Amino acid sequence: MEKTKSYKQFDGYTNYYSHQSAITGTKMNFAAYLPPQSEGRKLPVLYWLSGLTCTEENFITKAYAQIFAKKFGVVVVAPDTSPRGAGVPGEDDGYDLGTGAGFYVDATNGAWAKNYKMYTYVTQELRALVEKQLPVDGKHSGIFGHSMGGHGALVLGLRNPDLYKSISAFAPICAPMRAPWGQKAFSAYLGNNRDDWARYDATELLKSAKCKTPILIDQGMDDEFLKEQLLTEEFRKAAQGYPASIRMRDGYDHSYFFISTFIEEHFAFHAEILKG
């Protein structure tokens, strides 16, 4: 693992890292903020998963996360959203499939299956690397994300309650099996077996969830993707009796202006659980 850039910020450091991934077969990048409290001791860690077209840069530069990571004493790790340069035919043809659109699944279909393994990359390889190389306490980990990354946070969190003790999301794709973005990605990455799709659909997973990992969702009511792509109401219906707080925010859209407005509340939510 190579540290490629480092910036002092709020007495801690925003660092960028690169490494060769055995899972994706490509070079992978991620960013991390190490607050000053990490000097000499291990802290809880939050993994942020970004949305379509994003890299490891978007959240770490736009969300104003570092000041709250310092306030609550947690490390934040933000990986890229897909392999890059894998050479899969069509991976650069559109914004919603391929490069920048890994959807946090392990592809099993066609040429995608060799490299597009973001589920295993995040839950296994990245996590092991972070816990070995950075000052984090892996037993106190949470996960959060936005849009496609919100979908990823919900799915990875629900499927791995032993790894992630808290889950939150901004404007997540809640029912990708019923959304155009999800249907396009799942048919390409997973083929046509809808049982395989259901393993990566948060609404479907919630229906059979045995562990009750707390979930917080913020959704803007002026989000242009709400009705067709995000389907928050489907998740709300499935969440009856589950410890999930779903907050509809009047006037807010799908952007990082929305995220930055409520990011402190998400840090507080996770910190209460991880440090509680």
Residue 70: phi and psi, rounded to 5, are: -70, -45
Residue 82 sits at the vertex; the CA angle it makes with 80 and 88, to the nearest 5 degrees, is: 150
Distance CA 158, CA 124 (A): 15
Q: Using DSSP, state whether 82 is helix, strand or coil.
A: coil
Question: Exposure of 240 by Cβ count < 10 A (0-12 exposed, 13-18 middle, 19+ buried)?
Answer: exposed
Give the single-character DSSP code of 32: E
User: One of 147, 151, 168, 270 is an active-site residue; which one?
Assistant: 147
β partners of residue 220: 249
Distance CA 232, CA 29 (A): 30
User: One of 80, 106, 218, 223 is an active-site residue; which one?
Assistant: 223
Going by C-alpha positions, the residue among 218, 265, 272, 274 that lies closest to residue 64 is 265
For residue 222, indicate whether it is catalytic: no
β partners of residue 43: 136
Amino acid at position 232, single letter:
T
For residue 254, indicate whether it is catalytic: yes
User: One of 151, 254, 266, 270 is an active-site residue; which one?
Assistant: 254
Contacts of 185 (CB under 8 A, 6+ apart): 96, 97, 101, 103, 105, 176
Answer yes or no: are the C-beta atoms of 236 and 246 closer than 8 Å. Answer: yes
For residue 196, indicate whether it is catalytic: no
Distance CA 10, CA 24 (A): 34
Residues labelled catalytic: 147, 223, 254
